[in-house]
């Protein structure tokens, strides 16, 4: 057996910020060195941030990532961190380009490198590429076919990246066959409710398959529409949990491992004399239809002198509602900060959605930076204005009241010449007047506008294009109405536990939901009860179940038909940027997918 | 040698309209039978329409496509079309599902079937899947590994689909090795300026590689952001053009071919006694790293009695400006029609962009269905209103004038309490008042709103979010300002050639471009001259060139820096639907990509 102290650095990178991300690596590596670690690993695509989307296809960006990696290796050594093995993710390009129509331009690779003694001593390119849900990696990367094994203080360590764990065969199979003692997996695995338990089971299963301990390090923080929860962990070769980092905060998870010494493993398929600095390569059937090449690099052949291990850290997991609430606060805070905003504004209707969004915003960036505006119309009830004011008072936001009736009247007068506005056209008008006022505040004062629509509304089209959907960030767009209430109650209860005043007035939580765009209007006039609607939406939107499957799953056929009709009609609203015919090789839009939150600039810094 | 009369049916399908698309197949097959054809082929994914995007991942949709195919085979026979071989595209699922994380749910395949005598007698699944630009086919499909060869009237015919031609190896290699006399390729190949010449060269090259004639049939018409130009063609085994269909119109291209009789080819790698109805299979190295299985189906073993061939049709190609203009008219007409609209409305500023869009709309659906509105502000010049009125008069649109000053004043009064509106905030306000008025007209009267922004404006962010960018369809969003002027001049010249009054007043073409949102404002205050700007945009946006490459290409460094800064800032505006954190397996938005134009309904028809 041989000992190793590993550090999993769960950090919050920013897409395109090569300099800032390198600084993060430097800062956390120094801490790991101070803590006596021998190996530190960072999340997927550490240097470029994740996901960089179509920036990957720009050669200048790939070249900048490659240069940043070499510079970082040198810098770490200069900073006294040359004797810790540093595993960072970066963007590379295949050294064997096979240019072909249909392969990504420049043959980029989603890579990991090992930095040691001022040099890049090993490189690995992700083998399994995810291409479902939010992942588009066949668009961006060519797969790697080599599996590097590092001998570090007498322990053989294999490298993998994220999706490599989620698919059968490939690097895990090769890890077993090459007899490594530790599999390191660097990840950019976005948060989803309940996904943490899936990851636990997966890591345990893959560790047993690899017959090796497995260290899993994930990113943390928000990046455009993704939010990473961290939740980094270590399991032993039997799949038992050894250590776990907290969720939604940066952390350094230090863990002492006692692992089989190199060459003593049960399944050492590729053997050979291994000396310091030598490389020994072999081709291994990866059991996924491909053959991978094992490359061996010796950093330090001999085990360390025995040392007293630290007790492992196992962070508690939050309860589900608290976890979700923290995800939303984290995502909102990072979106604001990473896009260079310092304040937000939102309309407060007196209803639950805007109340929750205001509370998230205050928890994210503080009440002083949150501007709330009540925008009552002639149809707004008295309690809408007073409940909004009470929420603003409890939380200390900067609050104003601007009646919209004079503006709506001016629109109605102008539209009279064209036949007037009635019914839905007049309802939408009110929402658009509000949206235009908020956008004017954004343009004048530089606030980011938060929209307040929830997933149930957006999915059923129960919102106004360019009205309540106008704004820069939508904190609860993936949260159903039922969960909105649950989060509000959880947040109030959390305050009460701390002896604080609940931030959300009870009146706002208990009132019947209404858009208040027509006299006496209630959501229930047009939509099924949210307790019935939300499960149907979940099955139809999230699970792509067809009508027959939905009914077989026990949903009321009348509700199913209504929901399907609403959702199918609402799909259009998703795309507020009007479509138009594409007539060049790349239109501005659809076939050009760049991250929103990105510090990458082609321009040299001014 | 053996003769065959083939019909390439270049038709305008609609995504999701399984019944309507089957009707198209029936209608055009009857015509081909009347014309004496022995084989008819339709475009890619004929039955489902192309591209069906995430509908492909819905099992109910795949099952509906599979059922529609079988029903269509039966129907064609019942309609007297049982003796013509009918090749249609459809959505299938792999019969050997290998479920795995990272493969599309249900293992769909982009397939072609041969219908004959009331039965589905052969099936082919696309082997090469495109995954670049607008194509996402790794997300949707698993590749096919079988290559069907049909013996039809003594000629061996091989089937391919679109991307199969664009990549090296695969079906074309197998076609050569299996000694087919004719390669049939069904396509959903979107229009791009100049692409037609690329296709010609590609078809010629692949025909020579396959040592076989090649018949290429493409879709025609608009589908969401794509527009298909048709341009179906036939080349002989030497790569020489034999026949060509017109662009941008439905057509049946009938061509008589005299081809090597089956078994007489030079490279018959897989041999064997072939009897009517027998199938002979063999594995062939496809020279792309895969092995494909050749399956042989005999429909009619013996050559036809000799018949007098018809002269081939070779349609003229339009000049480039006319081709582009027709692409825009076709795309606009189909978007309006396929989404169930019968009228459009747009704001007429008196400038060139809205003038061109109005002209496209009138050419697409007729002046009676086009509602133009002048929306002057206090900063609008007199000629803006009169030039717009003159354009409306010449074209006969339904025209109105609605001054926006009273509405803007009401907004300014309301915003005074919050610090007032100045500069850009006030400019954007005017654009949003116009957008809100147009959307009110849309809601009240059911018009589709056309936006009038061009690619140069959109790329540089020279437009207002929720203002001039508000609307349902953007006919010139992929057309640079320079080309906008070129198209206007071309359209006027085309009218003059026919002895008609030019639709666009010369004053509109020659005036200096201005947004007229502030006193005396001109585009040139903020942007480089369009003659300088547009080439830089083309290189940066369409070709993803970095700063150093742009300067090396000869662009002025100061302009390059300015353009890069504008474009990078403007990227955000592309996404008017605000991003928000994703916390479930599928959010409503990003990770759910459904077509806009689609007739597919989970609901049974009412």
pLDDT in tens, A282-323: 899 999 888 999 999 999 999 999 999 999 999 999 999 999
What average pLDDT is seen over chain B? 90
- b/e burial code for range B247-274 (CB count within 10 A of at least 16 → b): bbebbbbbbbbebbbbeebeeeebeeeb
Distance CA B391, CA B382 (A): 15
Q: Is the pLDDT of residue B604 over 70?
A: no
Please report, in angstroms and rounded to a whole number, the separation of the first and last CA atoms in chain B: 54
Predicted pLDDT at A571: 64
Q: Is B184 helix (H, G, I), strand (E, B) or coil?
A: strand
B2-300 domain in CATH 3.60.110.10?
A: yes
Binding-face residues of A in 89-108 toward B, CB within 8 A: 100-105
Give ∠ CA B262-B268-B274 in degrees, rounded to 5: 50
**Cβ-defined contact of B588 to A596 (cutoff 8 Å):** no
* Minimum CA–CA partner of A289 in chain B: B290
Binding-face residues of B in 366-385 toward A, CB within 8 A: 373
Distance CA A215, CA A186 (A): 8
B605 inside 8 A of chain A by CB? no
* Minimum CA–CA partner of B443 in chain A: A425
**Cβ-defined contact of B581 to A192 (cutoff 8 Å):** no
**Continuous H helices in B93-250:** 137-140, 163-166, 171-177, 195-210
Q: Is the pLDDT of residue B101 over 70?
A: no
pLDDT band at B355 (very low <50, low <70, confident <90, very high): very high
Predicted pLDDT at B224: 87
B404 inside 8 A of chain A by CB? yes
Contact B68/B90 with Cβ under 8 angstroms? yes
Residue A292 has which token pair? Answer: 């991978």
Within 10 angstroms of residue B569's Cβ, the number of other Cβ atoms is 11
Query: Which residues, 6 or more positions from B298, have their beta carbon under 8 angstroms from its beta carbon?
Result: B150, B151, B274, B275, B276, B277, B278, B279
Predicted pLDDT at B268: 37
Q: Is the pLDDT of residue A270 over 50?
A: no
Percent of chain A with pLDDT strictly greater than 70: 91
Nearest to B460 by CA among B554, B553, B523, B544: B523
Q: Nearest C-alpha of chain A: how many angstroms from B279?
A: 29
What average pLDDT is seen over chain A? 90
Residue A390 phi/psi, 5-degree rounding, is -65, -40
DSSP-derived secondary structure letter, A314: B
pLDDT band at B282 (very low <50, low <70, confident <90, very high): confident
Q: Is the pLDDT of residue B226 over 70?
A: yes
| Residues linked to residue A597 through DSSP beta bridges, in sequence order | none
* Minimum CA–CA partner of A329 in chain B: B581
pLDDT band at B272 (very low <50, low <70, confident <90, very high): very low
Distance CA B594, CA B591 (A): 10
Q: Nearest C-alpha of chain B: how many angstroms from A229?
A: 11
A603 inside 8 A of chain B by CB? yes
| Residues linked to residue A371 through DSSP beta bridges, in sequence order | A345, A398
A434 inside 8 A of chain B by CB? no
A518 inside 8 A of chain B by CB? no
Contact A329/A321 with Cβ under 8 angstroms? no
Mean pLDDT for A357-386 is 96
Mean pLDDT for B153-176 is 96
A225 inside 8 A of chain B by CB? yes
Nearest to B488 by CA among B385, B387, B396, B357: B357
Query: Which residues, 6 or more positions from A151, have their beta carbon under 8 angstroms from its beta carbon?
Result: A157, A262, A274, A296, A297, A298, A299, A300, A301
Residue B267 has which token pair? Answer: 């490279």
Nearest to B8 by CA among B267, B183, B202, B133: B183
* Minimum CA–CA partner of B328 in chain A: A581
Q: Give the number of residues written for chain A.
A: 606
Predicted pLDDT at A201: 97
Predicted pLDDT at A590: 53
Contact B254/B215 with Cβ under 8 angstroms? no
Q: Is the pLDDT of residue B39 over 70?
A: yes
DSSP-derived secondary structure letter, B74: H
Distance CA B34, CA A248 (A): 69
Chain B residue numbers touching A226 (CB-CB < 8 A): 581-582
Mean pLDDT for A375-396 is 95
**Cβ-defined contact of A444 to B421 (cutoff 8 Å):** yes
**Cβ-defined contact of A61 to B102 (cutoff 8 Å):** no
Residue B401 phi/psi, 5-degree rounding, is -125, 125
pLDDT band at B569 (very low <50, low <70, confident <90, very high): confident
Mean pLDDT for B138-155 is 94
**Cβ-defined contact of A478 to B100 (cutoff 8 Å):** no
Residue B332 phi/psi, 5-degree rounding, is -65, -45
Distance CA A360, CA A475 (A): 8
| Residues linked to residue B350 through DSSP beta bridges, in sequence order | none
A576 inside 8 A of chain B by CB? yes
- Please tell me which residue in B53, B81, B137, B162 is annotated as part of the active site: B162
Greater confidence (B516 vs A500) lies with A500
Domain A321-523 class? alpha beta
Percent of chain B with pLDDT strictly greater than 70: 91
Nearest to B414 by CA among A444, A375, A464: A375
Q: Nearest C-alpha of chain A: how many angstroms from B81?
A: 33
B565 inside 8 A of chain A by CB? yes
Identify the H or E element spanning B533: helix B530-537
Q: Which of A588, A590, A591, A593 to mutate to test the interface with B (most CBs of B within 10 A)?
A: A588
Q: Is the pLDDT of residue B61 over 70?
A: yes
Q: Which residue numbers of B belong to the known binding site for ATP?
A: 347-354, 452
Distance CA A465, CA B549 (A): 40
B338 inside 8 A of chain A by CB? no
Contact A473/B574 with Cβ under 8 angstroms? no
**Cβ-defined contact of A406 to B410 (cutoff 8 Å):** yes
Chain B residue numbers touching A441 (CB-CB < 8 A): 415, 418
Chain A residue numbers touching B421 (CB-CB < 8 A): 440, 443-444
Percent of chain A with pLDDT strictly greater than 90: 76
Nearest to A359 by CA among A396, A410, A319, A401: A396
Burial of B14 (0-12, 13-18, 19+ CB in 10 A): buried
pLDDT in tens, B248-262: 999 999 999 999 999
pLDDT in tens, A216-238: 999 999 998 899 999 999 999 99
Mean pLDDT for A408-412 is 97
Mean pLDDT for B235-257 is 98
Nearest to B430 by CA among B472, B379, B395: B379
Contact A603/B561 with Cβ under 8 angstroms? yes
Mean pLDDT for B587-598 is 62
Q: Which residue numbers of B belong to the known binding site for deamido-NAD(+)?
A: 428, 457, 573
Mean pLDDT for B292-307 is 95
Max CA separation in chain B (angstroms): 90
Chain B residue numbers touching A225 (CB-CB < 8 A): 579-582, 587, 589-590
Q: Establish whether B203 is a catalytic residue.
A: no
A202 inside 8 A of chain B by CB? no
**Cβ-defined contact of A139 to B136 (cutoff 8 Å):** yes
Q: Is B212 helix (H, G, I), strand (E, B) or coil?
A: coil
Distance CA A366, CA A359 (A): 10
From the DSSP assignment, how many helices (H) and strands (E) are in chain A? 17, 20
Predicted pLDDT at B339: 87
Contact A162/A188 with Cβ under 8 angstroms? yes
Handedness of CA A97, A102, A105, A111 (dihedral sign): negative
Residue A126 has which token pair? Answer: 């992700």
* Minimum CA–CA partner of A593 in chain B: B571
Q: Identify which of A225, A373, A581 has the shortest CB distance to residue B581.
A: A225
Identify the H or E element spanning A64: helix A59-78
A323 inside 8 A of chain B by CB? no
Phi/psi-derived region of residue A407, left when phi > 0, alpha when psi is between -120 and 50, beta in every other case: alpha
Q: Which residue numbers of A belong to the known binding site for deamido-NAD(+)?
A: 428, 457, 573
Predicted pLDDT at B606: 40
- b/e burial code for range B63-75 (CB count within 10 A of at least 16 → b): ebbbebbeebbeb
pLDDT band at A594 (very low <50, low <70, confident <90, very high): low
A432 inside 8 A of chain B by CB? yes
Query: Which residues, 6 or more positions from B572, have their beta carbon under 8 angstroms from its beta carbon?
Result: A596
* Minimum CA–CA partner of B425 in chain A: A443
- Cα dist. B473→A468, A568, A576 in Å? 21, 18, 10
Q: 3-state SS of A367-428?
A: HHHEEEEECCCCCCCHHHHHHHHHHHHHHCCEEEECCCHHHHHHHHHHHHCCCCCCHHHHHH
Q: Is the pLDDT of residue A102 over 70?
A: no
Q: Is the pLDDT of residue B306 over 70?
A: yes
Contact B65/B600 with Cβ under 8 angstroms? no
pLDDT in tens, B446-465: 999 999 999 999 889 888 98
* Minimum CA–CA partner of A398 in chain B: B418
Chain B residue numbers touching A327 (CB-CB < 8 A): 581, 583
Binding-face residues of B in 258-287 toward A, CB within 8 A: none
Q: Nearest C-alpha of chain A: how many angstroms from B301?
A: 37
Active site residues of A: 44, 126, 162
Domain-by-domain residue ranges, chain A?
2-300, 321-523
DSSP-derived secondary structure letter, A289: S
- Cα dist. A364→A75, A354, A475 in Å? 34, 15, 11
**Cβ-defined contact of B415 to A444 (cutoff 8 Å):** yes
Q: Is the pLDDT of residue A482 over 90?
A: yes
Nearest to A40 by CA among A82, A88, A75: A88
ipTM of the complex: 0.90
Distance CA A284, CA A292 (A): 5
Radius of gyration of chain B (CA): 27
Q: Identify which of A455, A546, A579 has the shortest CB distance to residue B60.
A: A546
DSSP-derived secondary structure letter, A104: P
B134 inside 8 A of chain A by CB? yes
Predicted pLDDT at A458: 87
Predicted pLDDT at B19: 96
Nearest to B353 by CA among B485, B448, B449, B467: B485
Q: Which of A340, A578, A603, A604 to mutate to test the interface with B (most CBs of B within 10 A)?
A: A578
pLDDT band at A139 (very low <50, low <70, confident <90, very high): confident
**Cβ-defined contact of B59 to A472 (cutoff 8 Å):** no
């Amino acid at each position: 057996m041989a000992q190793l102290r590993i550090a999993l650095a769960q950090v919050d990178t920013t897409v395109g910020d090569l300099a800032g991300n390198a600084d993060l690596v430097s800062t956390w590596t120094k801490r790991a060195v101070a803590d006596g670690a021998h190996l530190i690993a960072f999340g997927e695509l550490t240097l470029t941030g994740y996901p960089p989307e179509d920036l990957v296809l720009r050669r200048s960006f790939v070249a900048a990532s490659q240069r940043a990696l070499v510079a970082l290796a040198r810098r770490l050594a200069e900073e006294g961190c040359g004797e810790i093995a540093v595993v960072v993710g970066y963007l590379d390009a295949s050294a064997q380009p096979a240019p072909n129509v249909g392969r990504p331009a420049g043959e980029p690779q989603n890579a990991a490198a090992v930095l040691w003694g001022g040099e890049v001593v090993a490189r690995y390119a992700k083998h399994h590429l995810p291409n479902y849900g939010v992942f588009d990696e066949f668009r961006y990367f060519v797969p790697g076919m080599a599996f590097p094994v590092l001998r570090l203080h007498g322990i053989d360590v294999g490298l993998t990246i994220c999706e490599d764990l989620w698919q059968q065969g490939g690097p895990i199979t090769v890890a077993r066959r090459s007899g490594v003692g530790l599999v390191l997996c660097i990840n950019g695995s976005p948060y989803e409710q309940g996904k943490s338990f899936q990851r636990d089971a997966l890591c345990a299963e893959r560790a047993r398959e690899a017959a090796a301990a497995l260290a899993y390090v994930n990113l943390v923080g928000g990046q455009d529409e993704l939010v990473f929860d961290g939740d980094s962990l270590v399991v032993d070769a039997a799949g038992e949990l050894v250590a776990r980092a907290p969720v939604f905060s940066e952390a350094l998870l230090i863990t002492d491992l006692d692992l089989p010494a190199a060459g003593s493993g049960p399944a050492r398929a590729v053997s050979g004399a291994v000396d310091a600095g030598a490389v020994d390569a072999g081709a291994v059937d990866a059991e996924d239809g491909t053959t991978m090449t094992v490359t061996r690099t010796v950093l330090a052949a001999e085990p360390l002198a025995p040392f007293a291990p630290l007790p492992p850290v196992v962070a508690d997991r939050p309860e589900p509602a608290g976890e979700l609430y923290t995800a939303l606060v984290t995502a909102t805070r990072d979106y604001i900060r990473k896009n260079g905003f310092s304040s937000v504004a939102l309309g407060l209707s007196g209803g639950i959605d805007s109340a929750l969004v205001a509370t998230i915003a205050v928890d994210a960036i503080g009440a002083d930076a949150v501007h709330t505006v009540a925008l009552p119309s002639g149809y707004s009830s008295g309690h809408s204005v007073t409940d909004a004011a009470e929420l603003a008072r409890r939380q200390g936001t900067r609050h104003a009241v601007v009646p919209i009736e004079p503006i709506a009247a001016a629109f109605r007068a102008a539209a009279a010449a064209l036949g007037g506005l009635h019914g839905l056209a007049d309802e939408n008008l009110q929402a658009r007047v509000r949206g235009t006022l908020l956008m004017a505040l954004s343009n004048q004062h530089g606030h980011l506008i938060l929209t307040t629509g929830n997933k149930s509304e957006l999915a059923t089209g129960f919102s106004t294009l360019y009205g309540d959907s106008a704004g820069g960030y939508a904190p609860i767009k993936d949260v159903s109405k039922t969960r909105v209430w649950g989060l509000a109650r959880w947040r109030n209860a959390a305050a009460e536990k701390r002896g604080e005043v609940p931030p959300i007035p009870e009146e706002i939580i208990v009132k019947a939901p209404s858009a208040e765009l027509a006299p006496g209007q209630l959501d229930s006039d047009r939509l099924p009860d949210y307790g019935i609607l939300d499960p149907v939406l979940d099955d139809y939107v999230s699970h792509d179940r067809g009508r027959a499957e939905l009914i077989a799953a026990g949903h009321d056929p009348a509700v199913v038909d209504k929901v399907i009709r609403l959702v199918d009609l609402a799909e259009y609203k998703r795309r507020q940027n009007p479509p138009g015919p594409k007539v060049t090789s790349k239109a501005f839009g659809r076939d050009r997918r760049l991250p929103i939150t990105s510090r990458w600039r082609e321009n040299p810094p001014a």
